[in-house]
A and B are shown apart, each in its own frame.
Chain A
Amino acid sequence: MNIKSYVDLYELLQVNPSTREENRAFGLTHVVVQNRPVEQLLAWIDSHKNTLKKPLLSETFSSYLYGVTLTLILIAFVLGLLSGAGLLSYSGHEPVNVIYFIAMVILFPLFTMFLTLLSMFRAGSSQSALVHISPAFWMEKILGFLPCKIQENIKAPKVNPLLANWVIIKRSQIIALFFSFGLLIALLGVVVTKDIAFAWSTTLHISPEAFQDFLYTVAFPWRDFAPSAVPTMELIERSQYFRLGEKLSEVMIADASKLGEWWRFLAFSTIFYAIALRFLMLLLSTLGLSRAVKQSFLTLNGTMRLLREINEPIISTHAKKREVAFSPNGKRYEQIVNTLDASYDSVQGWAIARGELLVLGDSIRMISPSYYGVGGGNSFEEDSEVIFKSHGEVLLFVKAWEPPTMDFVDYLNELTAKVDKVIVMPVGTVENNYETSNKEIDVWADKLSLLDDAKVWLKRSSAQTPSRETLNAEP
């Protein structure tokens, strides 16, 4: 798991190469990594990476990172080399003050490592000043101004600030490490190629004893196995130097060869404080970066959805096939009767018993010589008998709330073959005083419009308004 995987995942989530079903199938076929989200994501990246366009953004991104890091390493190394050479420059007129070099290889690294530790704690912040003062951050910003087509591509992924901060922190450690290598090589180079007289000089009232105590403490990591790399009291006393008068003491000149012994201490200080400790910081930052990648994996927009799709069973309750859209015929039924006559040749009720028909007829003050219940519990023979007896004009009551079935249509067809006119009258429930709703009547109108029979009429207005009026049209 590294930044490449992160960028791959970012790119894959952008193109969304698999359906929910495919992701679930992936989950079911990769049970080994079940309940291990990061491993699941890595396996998922592996199996989908081939769907991405070449060159992969992750490759472009990592080669850019590699290139920038390498450039920064080279710059840092050269700077280290030059700084070392500068600090150790020795003309032969006066000795080299070791305080500068000690500051550069001990105090400066300790200070920057302290800042690094602080920035590690604040790595989650998008506005971490400690990260922003890092040379790695600014040098890259400067390199970013260079015209380059690649930069367009690599700017596309919006890298998590946590991850970006850890990348900078780690890169800063590498840069500092190579800077320190530069210092060490400069030291060794100068020591090998020149004779240097080291001395120590300070305005502060520091006695050689106190300075020796300090150096002894500083040398704690190696003083036991390399005692020659700890300056002795004698060396410290002999190498204390004051510039006043610009003349070297005779003792110093006599011990010129001994003054060079400081280099061991300086070399060990560089190796331990500037290199070994920095290397530990590098390891720490590598660990931090790895954790940041893992965390960024899980906080990347779309990751949780993907993990859910991989791990959650697909529960489906829906129909597989799409339903054929129903479209009502839209025709308006024209053969409408608004008022009823006072009598009809026959009154019939579809699925309405004869007794109910009599009550119904009475309620609307309409009379007829014959009342028949049809449909409902009747047999076909009974219905046929009613049709046989029917003639002239028939008032056919139907239950408004029951939609017309084809059974009714069959009966109506047979009836119209025998009689002159059929008025279909939907009625509501007794509790509702036979009142009907427009919606119910519309359902009946729709059905009758399909019959397209000139003998069939529909009574639309209220059943409670009996009057002897003519029908609005003759059949």
Chain B
Amino acid sequence: MPSRRETDFVHPRFAVVGHPNKGKSSIVSALALDDTVQISDTPGTTRKKRSFPLSVDGKVLYELFDTPGFQRARRVLSWLEKHDVSADKKHEVVRAFINEHKEDARFNDEVELLEPIMDGAGIIYVVDGSKPYGEEYEAEMEILRWTGQPSMALINHINESDYSEEWKRALGHYFKMVRTFNPMQTNIKQHMGILESMAQLKEEWIAPVKASMKLFEKYQEQMIERSAFLLARLLYDSVSTVEKLSFGTKDATKEGKEEIERKYKDTLRALEVATQKKIEHIWSHDHLKKEPDILPLEGMDLFSQETASVFGLTRKELIITGATSGAVTGAGIDLLFAGHTLLLGGVIGALAGGTGAYFGFNELSEVKVLGQTVGKRYLEMGPMENRNFPYILLGRAVYHVIKVAKISHATREIFDIRMDQTFKDKWLDDTVKKSLEKYHKKFRSGNTLGSGELREYEGLIRSILKHLIDG
């Protein structure tokens, strides 16, 4: 076992300790962004200490420990108090307690929670601020004082009632720092706030924990970037997707056309669902509980009128966007001819863009009958001609990312995406529409994208996500 002096020079460690069922695991889950931590209303869910290192390329910057709750605090304290020692020797008595009771099943939980502390971990003592303070906690706090390790208290609010003030008064006697933290409603700012407090526990920990804070911000950036990459790919793949269905009859039947439309829609739906899964993985939410067999986004189908009205553009908006985009292209031609076209290029571009948007408002894509002359006849549907579809799909995808990014890793309830009717206004202004339309047009054309083009689109989505997540 390393000596305390040795452990002082390794990365900072923090043991999250407290009474059973006070949200220790929730706090660890939220701070470690890990949704695999078992959290339940049943006390004693955590029986073994568990380490959650924050590492970058394998190098650990700090380590969090989830621990079982105190079970026989009074008995432990009584054992410690039997040893009449001066303050500088008290930690040795705690170590002696661990050594003597390592194999004693009665003190399994106490040994598990005290071990990391005696190995140099700072103490994060968790209490539930929504329940009244009780003197039974004092034995626990006294034991922690015996360890001599730097400590802070976190008041967790499990329910709505608030007993924070009485808790603060009591905890102030034992801890130099008392902070409030709700793991269910945490965001990056609160997360950083807690890390900042943890850094203050010991001077040597300030630099590594601050480095960890920067890393967390970088991690968040990474997750946003990876999400933007997936969303850009989803949009490109969905809009450019082409579905084929061969048929043996002389002419294409109505059923055939319906079948290819169904297949086409299913392909696009599958792309959306697959992307949602990947997004949840990126944000470490692989274990989100969802209602089984329910369509993504509150059962709103990708092709429903409802989803179009929530996420898509109105016909008027679409015409304006199409016309603006067309005018920009036309203006390029005018510029090429040094204005000798009397700005006709811009006018024609605007008209073409606006008319295309008007007529392409409802239809997804034309069902084409191909191969008539060659003999292998088949129906083809795609790429997507509906100009509204990319906005609908992107809107849904952005909405899903924002919801996943903001949900706490401590949540074990069913992931509920309540629709926000005003969501579109939060991210889709005229400038964004114009910028997006440029790329949507390219996706629809079926031409190969330049290596930079998809990345430019990705950059656009990244800035949208960043604005929504940080804002």
| Chain B residues within an 8 Å CB radius of A125 | 445, 447-448
B284 at the interface (CB under 8 A from A): yes
B269 at the interface (CB under 8 A from A): no
Partner of A24, one of B44, B57, B69, B450: B57
Partner of A376, one of B32, B134, B451: B134
Nearest A residue to B59 via CB reads A313
A250 at the interface (CB under 8 A from B): no
Q: Given the complex of chains A and B, what is the CA–CA distance between A461 and B45 in angstroms? A: 26
| Chain B residues within an 8 Å CB radius of A439 | 41
Interface residues in B416-447 (C-beta closer than 8 Å to A): 445-447
Q: Given the complex of chains A and B, what is the CA–CA distance between A431 and B161 in angstroms? A: 9
Partner of A404, one of B43, B135, B225: B43
**Interface size of A by Cβ–Cβ distance < 8 Å?**
54
Partner of B75, one of A126, A318, A401, A407: A407
Q: Given the complex of chains A and B, what is the CA–CA distance between A298 and B453 in angstroms? A: 11
Instruction: Flag if A319 contacts B36 (CB, 8 Å).
Output: yes
Partner of B57, one of A295, A313, A324: A313
Q: How far in angstroms is the closest Cβ of chain A from B146?
A: 17
Q: Given the complex of chains A and B, what is the CA–CA distance between A126 and B32 in angstroms? A: 47
B53 at the interface (CB under 8 A from A): yes
Instruction: Flag if B448 contacts A162 (CB, 8 Å).
Output: yes
Partner of A377, one of B32, B38, B48, B138: B138
Instruction: Flag if A324 contacts B134 (CB, 8 Å).
Output: no
Given A308-B226, A323-B37, A318 contacting B284 (CB threshold 8 A): yes
B285 at the interface (CB under 8 A from A): no
Q: Given the complex of chains A and B, what is the CA–CA distance between A115 and B24 in angstroms? A: 72
Q: Given the complex of chains A and B, what is the CA–CA distance between A316 and B74 in angstroms? A: 38
A446 at the interface (CB under 8 A from B): yes
Nearest B residue to A379 via CB reads B78
Q: Given the complex of chains A and B, what is the CA–CA distance between A402 and B448 in angstroms? A: 64
Instruction: Flag if B54 contacts A317 (CB, 8 Å).
Output: yes
Instruction: Flag if A315 contacts B219 (CB, 8 Å).
Output: yes
Interface residues in B1-53 (C-beta closer than 8 Å to A): 19-21, 32-34, 36-38, 40-48, 50-53
A214 at the interface (CB under 8 A from B): no
Instruction: Flag if B136 contacts A376 (CB, 8 Å).
Output: yes
Given A321-B50, A443-B41, A443-B42, A315 contacting B215 (CB threshold 8 A): yes
Interface residues in A430-449 (C-beta closer than 8 Å to B): 431-432, 439, 443, 446-447
B172 at the interface (CB under 8 A from A): no
Q: What 1/0 flags go to A441-469 for Cβ under 8 Å of B? A: 00100110000000000000000000000
Q: What 1/0 flags go to A285-326 for Cβ under 8 Å of B? A: 000000000110011000011001000111111111111111
Interface of A (DSSP majority class) = loop
Q: How far in angstroms is the closest Cβ of chain A from B239?
A: 14
Q: Given the complex of chains A and B, what is the CA–CA distance between A162 and B41 in angstroms? A: 59
| Chain A residues within an 8 Å CB radius of B75 | 380, 407, 410
Instruction: Flag if A324 contacts B450 (CB, 8 Å).
Output: no
Instruction: Flag if A351 contacts B136 (CB, 8 Å).
Output: yes
Instruction: Flag if B56 contacts A315 (CB, 8 Å).
Output: yes
Q: Given the complex of chains A and B, what is the CA–CA distance between A313 and B75 in angstroms? A: 47
Interface residues in B155-170 (C-beta closer than 8 Å to A): 161
Partner of A326, one of B47, B50, B58, B74: B47
B95 at the interface (CB under 8 A from A): no
| Chain B residues within an 8 Å CB radius of A325 | 38
| Chain B residues within an 8 Å CB radius of A407 | 71-75
A406 at the interface (CB under 8 A from B): yes
A135 at the interface (CB under 8 A from B): no
A375 at the interface (CB under 8 A from B): yes
| Chain A residues within an 8 Å CB radius of B38 | 323, 325-326
Partner of A317, one of B19, B20, B33, B454: B33
Q: How far in angstroms is the closest Cβ of chain B from A384?
A: 12
| Chain A residues within an 8 Å CB radius of B55 | 314-316
| Chain B residues within an 8 Å CB radius of A410 | 72, 75
Instruction: Flag if B134 contacts A402 (CB, 8 Å).
Output: yes
Q: How far in angstroms is the closest Cβ of chain A from B76?
A: 10
Given A299-B448, A316-B55, A380 contacting B78 (CB threshold 8 A): yes
A63 at the interface (CB under 8 A from B): no
Partner of A351, one of B20, B46, B134: B134
B449 at the interface (CB under 8 A from A): yes
Q: Given the complex of chains A and B, what is the CA–CA distance between A429 and B229 in angstroms? A: 51
A217 at the interface (CB under 8 A from B): no
Q: Given the complex of chains A and B, what is the CA–CA distance between A124 and B213 in angstroms? A: 44
| Chain A residues within an 8 Å CB radius of B135 | 351, 376-377
Instruction: Flag if A304 contacts B131 (CB, 8 Å).
Output: no
Instruction: Flag if B36 contacts A318 (CB, 8 Å).
Output: yes
Q: Can you list 7 pairs linking A and B with CB atoms under 8 Å apart?
A: A162-B448, A294-B451, A314-B56, A316-B53, A316-B55, A323-B37, A326-B38
- The 5 lowest CB-CB distance pairs between A and B, nearest first, are A403-B43, A406-B71, A298-B451, A377-B135, A162-B448
Give 4 new A-B contacts, CB below 8 A, not counting A313-B218, A377-B136: A308-B226, A317-B54, A380-B78, A405-B19
Q: Which residues on B are within 8 Å of A, measured CB to CB? A: 19-21, 32-34, 36-38, 40-48, 50-58, 66, 69-75, 78, 106, 109, 128, 131-132, 134-136, 138, 161, 215, 218-219, 222, 225-226, 229, 284, 445-451, 454-455
Q: Which residues on A are within 8 Å of B, measured CB to CB? A: 24, 28, 124-127, 160-162, 294-295, 298-299, 304-305, 308, 312-326, 328, 351, 375-377, 379-380, 399, 401-407, 410, 429, 431-432, 439, 443, 446-447
